[in-house]
Structure formats: C-alpha cells, structure tokens
Amino acid sequence: MAMPGHIDPVPVPRTPVPRPDGRIDLLGLSKDDLRMALETSQLEPKQAKLRAKQLWHWIYNRGATDFSVMTDISKAMKPWLEARFVISRPEVVEAQVSTDGTRKWLLRSPDAQDYEMVFIPDADRGTLCVSSQVGCTLNCRFCHTGTMRLVRNLTVGEIVGQVMLARDSLGEWPSQPEGRMLTNIVMMGMGEPLYNFDNVRDALKLVMDGDGLALSKRRITLSTSGVVPQMERCGQEIGVNLAVSLHAVTKEVRDEIVPINRKYGIEQVLQACADYPGANNARRITFEYVMLKDKNDSDDDARELVRLLRKYKLPAKVNLIPFNPWPGAPYECSDPDRIKAFSNIVFEAGISAPVRTPRGRDIDAACGQLKTASEKKSRAELDRLAEEAERQEA
C-alpha cells in the first residue's frame, strides 16, 4: 500500500554540481575511483595506479589539500594535477564553541544548502556527530531537523569532508593510531543515514580504511529511526555499531512521535535488531529514548520497554535523552525525578540506562537541535503549529 509522502519519503537526489572551473574534486573518491579519474585524464594505467595510491595517502593520511606539499610527486606532475583536480573541504559558514567545549560548525554545499556537524570532547574520548542529509524527510514530532522543508542527501565527499574538516581544526594530521582527540563518530547529526545508504556506506568505508583516517568500526555508531529493510544491509556492508531511535513502546505513541512507525512497527524494528549481524554482548545495540513529559515516560512504559528488549533477547543499552525543546515544539521534557524513576526500572532489570547529559545547549548543538539558525520557520513547522492549535481548540 502506498503511504503518504512524509512516512515513505524519497530524498531529493543530488545531481552533482560541476565546479565552475571544471576541475574534479578528489575528496570522497575511493581508491579505484581515484585511479579511474586519473586514467580518464589520459594517464596510462600503470602510472594512474601508482599516483592514485600516493594521492590517496596524502589525502586521507596526511590531510593534504594542496598538491604542492606532496613530496613524492614530481615537480613536473604537480601543475598537471592542479589543472585538473582539487581536494576540497566543506565551506564553513560559522564555527561556534560552547562553554562546555562542544564545537559546532555550520557548513554550506556548493549548491548553497546548509548542514551542521558537532564535536563533543569528553575526558576519555572525542565524538564527532556527523550529518547524512540536509534536513530529514521523516518528521519525528519532537525533532527540530525534521521540520526543515528542503531535504537532500549529502554526497560521499560532504560526509567524509566533515571528518576531514574536524581533523583539520583539531590539528590531527597525519593520522595516528594513538593520542588523538577525535576518537569516535556518531551518525546522529541531521538526517536519516539509512535513507542515504550508499553515500553513508562509501563515506564510512573511507573513514574506516586503515591506510587513511583509520577509525575502527567499533568506534562508529549509526543511528536510525528504524528503516527496517536497510538495517541488515547496514550490518553486512558497513558493520558499525547500531543505535535505534525507539522513543516509545506502544504503537499509538510511536506512530505519533516517530511517524515511520506506521510503516515499520516496533516489533519489526526489534526483530531487525535481533537479526543485526554482529550484535552480541560485547557490541550492544543502543536504544535511544527521548523523555517526553506525560507522553512516553511512565513506569508502565519503562516496564514495557524491559519486556520488549527481553522478548527479543537483545543485547541492549538504553540511552535516555532529556528532550531538548525548541520554539514551537509540541512537547515538554520529563521532570528529572521521572527520568530517574524510569532509568531505575530499566536498570533494575539488568539493562544499563544512563541519562545522556545534553551538551552544547548554549550554541544549540544538543541532540536534535540541528537546524540551521538562518532558516526561518518552515512550511512543515507552520503546518504542525496550525495542526496543534486546531487540536487544542477542539
């Protein structure tokens, strides 16, 4: 059965915008594609193979954006490369630092679409929160990103570009296995990563490549609202940790707050988790649960959550996220005592249930807040507010 657009969305495909100078951007190309790009520019295959290997190392291990620094590439070759290729970075529109050390960047694509990334430093790790789309088609009712009207997939270069840019800004080149600040990546920025599967996969493959950025798959977490058909592929083709935005334990409530639930229900999502390749006790699946006052935060909800996780024998950890309100949001955050009581019930059942501390609130970098400040109230947001007002009147 066909479902209305907002729960069976088709993200706007992006036709790559050619650079005005006609040069090709090497950022985001796999080793093979890099070799092909050189061959297409008439380099003979043996040369292309060797040069591709050198370039790839310079790009992803050394963070080079300029051919002139590439010491093992001959002087004569550099102008040839410069005339045909560039190694780009996303354009930074704004960079902000929070009082708690969290950093947020507003980035802009060549076709003038804005997206964001956030870096969260902790004592023992540094986590980069990466966006997969501009906006999100899924319209979860508590999420600010979901109110953005324009949605498009980010390209491989734009996704891996966020990691490159963070490394630039932290001064972490060349890539080293030890002592780095950027240790973890979460695909929890703007967008639904499993609706941009191919680009997210190819970008994460670049991030995980041992010769380049070399981040282990154990330090990467992909968060999904529950796009069931892509969850298995995610395990098989990417193999990173999985986080699932559950947020409710009844059909009625989840249908309301996470509308994709009308297409893939709670039990289907949990079965997909049980089948997730590599899920075991050492690699638990994280269930995200945003705490909404009088909506999903009762003792009964907590007990039902435990029952469901047990029923599917899931090696699980529950992340309780205090709701971050935004102007016009139709919900409030649960009281701290309620969150504690909820957490205790889950914890007493033997499932870890930490309450996530919101970070970077002063710069709107906290979870689910990612929506470009420049954007005025969107159509979707206005529609939602109108709907809300109507309901209250009724």
Under the criterion CB under 6 A, does residue 381 sit at the interface with ligand SF4?
Answer: no
> Is there a catalytic annotation at residue 116?
yes
Q: Distance between CA 12 and CA 5 in Å, rounded?
A: 12
Instruction: Calculate the alpha carbon distances from 50 to 68, 91, 211 in Å.
Output: 18, 30, 15
Contact status, residue 332 vs residue 325, Cβ threshold 8 Å = yes
Residue of 106, 130, 138, 194 that binds ligand SF4 (CB under 6 A): 138
Tell me the CB-side half-sphere exposure of residue 239, using CA atoms within 13 A. 10
- Determine the interface stretch with ligand SF4 among 122-130, 138-146, 160-168, 357-365 (rule: CB under 6 A): 138-146
Q: Which residues contact 47 (CB under 8 A, 6 or more apart)?
A: 38
In whole angstroms, how close is the CB of 75 to ligand SAH at the nearest point? 46
Under the criterion CB under 6 A, does residue 368 sit at the interface with ligand SAH?
Answer: yes
- Binding pattern to ligand SF4, positions 25-54, x when CB under 6 A? ------------------------------
- Binding pattern to ligand SAH, positions 200-239, x when CB under 6 A? -----------------------xxx--------------
Contact status, residue 142 vs residue 257, Cβ threshold 8 Å = yes
Under the criterion CB under 6 A, does residue 195 sit at the interface with ligand SAH?
Answer: no
Residue 359 backbone zone (phi > 0: left; psi -120 to 50: alpha; other: beta): beta
Under the criterion CB under 6 A, does residue 248 sit at the interface with ligand SAH?
Answer: no
- Binding pattern to ligand SAH, positions 143-182, x when CB under 6 A? xx--------------------------------------
In whole angstroms, how close is the CB of 287 to ligand SF4 at the nearest point? 14
Q: Distance between CA 344 and CA 98 in Å, rounded?
A: 31
Under the criterion CB under 6 A, does residue 324 sit at the interface with ligand SF4?
Answer: no
Query: Residue 157: which of ligand SAH, ligand SF4, none does it interact with, CB under 5 to 8 A by kind?
Result: none
Residues near ligand SF4 (CB under 6 A), total = 11
Q: Distance between CA 372 and CA 197 in Å, rounded?
A: 23
Q: Which residues pair with 25 in a beta bridge?
A: 86
* Total Cβ atoms within 10 A of residue 126: 20
Residue 269: phi, psi to the nearest 5?
-65, -45
The angle subtended at Cα 177 by Cα 171 and Cα 182, nearest 5°, is 45
Residues 117-136 that bind ligand SF4 (CB under 6 A): 136
- Determine the interface stretch with ligand SAH among 36-44, 73-81, 109-117, 138-146 (rule: CB under 6 A): 138-146
Q: Which residues contact 20 (CB under 8 A, 6 or more apart)?
A: none
Rank residues 140 and 314 by Cβ distance to ligand SF4 and give the closer one. 140
In whole angstroms, how close is the CB of 345 to ligand SF4 at the nearest point? 24
Residues 300-339 that bind ligand SAH (CB under 6 A): 321, 323-324
Contact status, residue 36 vs residue 24, Cβ threshold 8 Å = no
Q: Which residues contact 239 (CB under 8 A, 6 or more apart)?
A: 217, 277, 278
> Is there a catalytic annotation at residue 367?
yes
Active-site residue, selected from the candidate residues 129, 140, 143, 367: 367
Q: Distance between CA 157 and CA 199 in Å, rounded?
A: 9
By annotation, the residues acting in catalysis are 116, 367
In the complex, which residues of this chain contact ligand SAH (CB under 6 A)? 136, 140, 142-144, 188, 192, 223-225, 245, 288, 290, 321, 323-324, 367-368
